[in-house]
Amino acid sequence: MATEFQGPQRELLDAPDRDHCPGARPVLAYREEDDPEYLAGLDARALQKVRLQRRGIWHGEWIELRADQAPGLSRPREALFDERWHRARPILLPGLLDHDAAWPAQAQERLALFEALQQPEGLAEFIANRPTDDPPHWRATGPLPLYDPSRDIACLGLESQPGQDVWVKSGHLSTFDEDRSLRVRFSAGSEGKNDASRDLDAHRRVQSLAQQLLPETRTIESTPALLEPLEDWIDGPVFFTQHIGYWNAPGGGALMHHDGFREPIEGGQRGVVYVQLAGRTAWVALSIEDLSRRVIEFVEYMQEGELAWVREDLFPDRETFQWLERMVARFGRVRKELGKPGCGRLGPLVGRGPEFTSLLADAGHAFILEPGDSIVLPNQGLECTCMHSVFCASPEPTYGVSMAVREAQPTTPAPEDRPPKPSRGRSRRRRRRR
């Protein structure tokens, strides 16, 4: 077995401003044309390599290293997790689920739905074919109008008692023709308008239906290794709602976004948990503060004359680049822009591959999720939320589920704490800018 890195790989992994989540397997970006000795060093300590292509854009290649190549912990793991939660940095829980359980077989059943759910009738057939022995008994109330006809495939209403309705919808993740990635979403009330609803009874109904139709979510929700730390961080009992089943397919995935709302923290959506159940997905996940810093770092490279081809592609005219330069001089403006749908006017830069994606990976914001692994995406409000984007990292469609975390007994909203100030400075990733 190869020993620890000594050279440039070590410098990248140990860079003081590289993010490191305890327990996470480190990921670095690489290029085939990198120095052969450098690549051989990576290979000797690698678990796997993934190629990243999403919606027709090439995002480069990553190498996942053994967990023992990660830097040592500076403080106890629990203290680091607690801080990550409050700073809205992603928390990796590799191997959350016990493989000696029902979920691997359930995940295979869900994978088999991938083709059927592409069709409008697939959703109703899936629901009709689920066993309904356990109460409550749901009655279909009929199809509902599509909220986003460009992506949605079908939407069905269900109720367990008159007037207590919920809905389930199937849809594509994007309008990109070759992206067949799907999701099945559970919710209640008017889509969009009620997404941040604080109606706990409605959320409980959503939870109940999701657990019945996707019983793997019941397993996840009762896993102590997930539930106990969440209750610690939130300081009270929690429950899960707004479930989504995801079939990320080759060439597809999700663009950078957050799952927060403009609302007081207490009693609101406190975060999202995603669990991979079949196949493999690759993630970029980082706090909105950290993403702001990385955007500024990237723009500084362009200001210094680096990445000329990126600047030419993204900001061909002088006025737009000057606008960008003015923006990155104000940290708060960058963060505010990134919180807008699609990251606002910074969307093309944030979605730029492979250069920006590689910078994020080398800065410690990349993760590869295997079946049974989980990632927690904390949310402390729009100014302190976890941004994330997803790639399919398998040759076949994959399957995973996400669910929002809410307080079971919320207290009255209190004034928000200011999020911590970001640290400054750049590391030797500079050596590897691309």
Contact footprint for Fe ion (CB under 5 A): 259
Residue (324 or 350) nearer to Fe ion, CB: 350
Q: How far is the CB of 394 from Fe ion (least distance, A)?
A: 19
Residue (195 or 259) nearer to Fe ion, CB: 259
Distance, CA of 370 to CA of 99 (rounded, Å): 12
DSSP result, 251-311: T-EEEEE----SS-STTSEEEEEEEEEES-EEEEEEEHHHHHHHHHHHHHHHHTT-SHHHH
Residue (259 or 266) nearer to Fe ion, CB: 259
Distance, CA of 256 to CA of 80 (rounded, Å): 25
CB 238, CB 406: distance < 8 Å: yes
Residue (120 or 342) nearer to Fe ion, CB: 342
Residue owning tokens 């993403």: 291
3-state SS class at 9: helix
Q: How far is the CB of 4 from Fe ion (least distance, A)?
A: 35
Q: How far is the CB of 257 from Fe ion (least distance, A)?
A: 6
Residue (246 or 356) nearer to Fe ion, CB: 246
Please calculate the CA angle 89-266-295 and round it to the nearest 5 degrees: 30
Backbone angles phi, psi at 292, to 5 degrees: -60, -45
Distance, CA of 203 to CA of 423 (rounded, Å): 38
Q: How far is the CB of 266 from Fe ion (least distance, A)?
A: 21
Q: How far is the CB of 377 from Fe ion (least distance, A)?
A: 7
Q: How far is the CB of 256 from Fe ion (least distance, A)?
A: 10
Residue (219 or 385) nearer to Fe ion, CB: 385
Cβ-proximal residue to Fe ion, closest one: 259
Residue 281 neighbours by CB under 8 Å, 6+ apart: 248, 253, 368, 369, 390, 391, 392, 393, 394, 398, 400
Q: Please tell me what DSSP assigns to residue 104.
A: H
Residue (271 or 364) nearer to Fe ion, CB: 271
Q: How far is the CB of 325 from Fe ion (least distance, A)?
A: 30
